[in-house]
Amino acid sequence: ETGVTQSPTHLIKTRGQQVTLRCSSQSGHNTVSWYQQALGQGPQFIFQYYREEENGRGNFPPRFSGLQFPNYSSELNVNALELDDSALYLCASSLAGIAGVNEQFFGPGTRLTVL
């Protein structure tokens, strides 16, 4: 069984650019959630994907978008980068059943720096 992986580990971009972050979910998991964690803060929920559709969204603008693929891996895209987008981006996978969302398993994160 493989765990959650994310790529790249680190990324440096400039204001106005676009970025794509990638996440491979744990084997057997069908749900991927993305979180943004600013320095010294707790993670903030961006959105969740279940069966390739967005299944809940936090308080983030539309320039934050995502995709989930048939193999349940996922991408987070951020357009028109701003300095405040600098953060650790965490991906978590889980197995959603009829009763709701189960324990989420987190990847190591991607550290994004916007200059």
Binding region for other proteins (CB under 8 A): 4, 31, 33, 35, 37, 39, 41-45, 48, 50, 55-56, 58, 88, 90, 92, 96, 100-101, 103-109, 111
Output the six-digit token pair for 46.
């961006």
| Closer Cβ to other proteins, 37 or 73, answer by number | 37
Q: Is the backbone peptide bond immediately before 62 cis, with ω within 30 degrees of 0?
A: no
In the complex, minimum distance from the CB of residue 6 to other proteins, in angstroms, rounded to a whole number: 8
Q: Report the C-alpha dihedral over residues 72, 22, 105, 96, rounded to 10 degrees.
A: -30
| Closer Cβ to other proteins, 16 or 61, answer by number | 61
Chain-centroid distance of CA 8 in Å reads: 12
In the complex, minimum distance from the CB of residue 44 to other proteins, in angstroms, rounded to a whole number: 8
Separation of alpha carbons 59 and 50, rounded Å: 19
In the complex, minimum distance from the CB of residue 71 to other proteins, in angstroms, rounded to a whole number: 21
